[in-house]
Amino acid sequence: MMLQGLHAPMPSAFSAAEIALEAIVDLDTFPIHDLQHPKRKSLVADCYESLQETGCAHIPRFMRQDAIEAMREEVSRLRKDIRRSEDTVNAYFTNDDDSLPLEHPKRHFMSRRSAFINSDKLEFQSILRQFYDSDVIVHFLSDCLGVAPIYRWADPLARNPYSVMQEGDHFPWHFDGNDFTVSILVQQSEGGGDFEYCPNLRNPYDENFDGVSAVLGGDRNPVHVLTLQPGDLQLFKGRYSLHSVTPIVGKTERIIALPTYVTDPYAVNRPHHAKTVYGEALPIHFERERAVRADNLID
Ligand SMILES: O=C(O)CCC(=O)C(=O)O
Ligand SMILES: [Fe+2]
């Protein structure tokens, strides 16, 4: 068998001994490293229940404020690497398919304007990368989800980016290519920037095109809205829950870190999705384009 070329210029993972988790998370309040601690057990139970009920769990002030400040400073040093993009997309990030009737949700295109600092641009000592590389965090999230094993995503651009949204930017209704996403708000906009989601609108056995069409057409019944504060952690099932970010209002950017997790450690975003949202498709996106999705869902 031929070995594929390395996709990263250098190995990027921190070892456990290099990650000072107590500098990132207040481990007295959230003793996620101590598997038998009653506080961990009750936090996991609360998150699990919330994920079952609404596809989403919210832990206010999970991150230490000085870690959030360090992340904000990292974003300001990486401004040159912010990739802005503007286009029209459907909820699945696929091309138009004119063999389908016009009212099919795959043919419903919406404008999108957003910007990311892709994961491959994070600084060497990035707090966000340390958070992402922490096995304690992965284990905690896996317990909250009740899904094991989960993995960090293989996608070199989308696995752990910062989203940096300016006035008027918005992210329309969509499903993610990965299974689970953590959102850590770093900076709040003055207005807008709300995360809206429809819990479990599809599942691996049912695309529920009628339900998706209804929301795209304006049905607000299944819609939940979450407003985060800086330092809050949100965990949600973005592959099953249709979600969006409402337009940003005011001059202050909305900055959010988006560490992502998967049940399939091989698959990455399709090239069209990578190019549309993250600004480029790398060799790995083409090499793995035909990898069969474990869940058969569209993306
Ligand atoms: O910014 C957010 O809160 C979510 C962004 C999102 O849904 C995505 O990047 O796929
Ligand atoms: Fe998303």
Chain segment 136-182, per-residue pLDDT in tens: 999 999 999 999 999 999 999 999 999 999 999 999 999 998 999 99
Higher model confidence: residue 8 or residue 249?
249
Distances (CA, A) of 113 to 136, 169, 180: 34, 5, 22
Region for 146 from its dihedrals, namely left if φ exceeds 0, alpha if ψ lies in -120 to 50, beta otherwise: left
Please tell me the distance from the alpha carbon of residue 189 to that of residue 248, in angstroms, as a whole number.
7
pLDDT beyond 60 at 111? yes
Q: Which of 183, 132, 192 is nearest to 165 (CA)?
A: 192
- Ligand 1 pocket: which of 258, 262, 273, 277 to mutate (most atoms <8 Å of CB)? 258
What pLDDT, on the 0 to 100 scale, is given for residue 255? 98
- Tell me the mean pLDDT in the region 21-42: 97
Average pLDDT estimate for 275-298: 88
Determine the distance separating the centroid of ligand 1 and the alpha carbon of 245, expressed in angstroms.
Answer: 7
Query: What is the ipTM score, two decimals?
Result: 0.99
| Atom of ligand 1 lying closest to residue 277 CA | 9
pLDDT at 10: 56
Distances 263 to 136, 167, 245 between C-alpha atoms, Å: 17, 35, 25
The predicted model gives 81-98 an average pLDDT of 94
Is residue 86 scored above 60 in pLDDT? yes
CB-based pocket (< 6 A), ligand 1: 163, 171, 176, 183, 195, 243, 245, 256, 258
Tell me the CA–centroid distance for residue 39 and ligand 1, in Å: 29
pLDDT of 34 > 60? The answer is yes
Q: Closest ligand 1 atom to the C-alpha of 256? A: 1
Does position 102 have pLDDT exceeding 60, yes or no?
Answer: yes
Q: What is the pLDDT of residue 53?
A: 92
- Atom 3 in ligand 1: residue holding the nearest Cα: 195
Domains of the chain and any CATH numbers: 38-287 (2.60.120.620)
pLDDT in tens, 208-246: 999 999 999 999 999 999 999 999 999 999 999 999 999
The residue whose C-alpha atom lies closest to atom 4 belonging to ligand 1 is 245
Ligand 1: distance of its center to the CA of 289 in Å? 22
- CA 187 / ligand 2 centre spacing (Å): 18
Nearest atom of ligand 1 to the alpha carbon of 244: 7
- Considering Cα of 174, then 269, then 93, then 87, what sign does the dihedral take? positive
pLDDT for res 177: 86
pLDDT at residue 298, as a whole number: 80
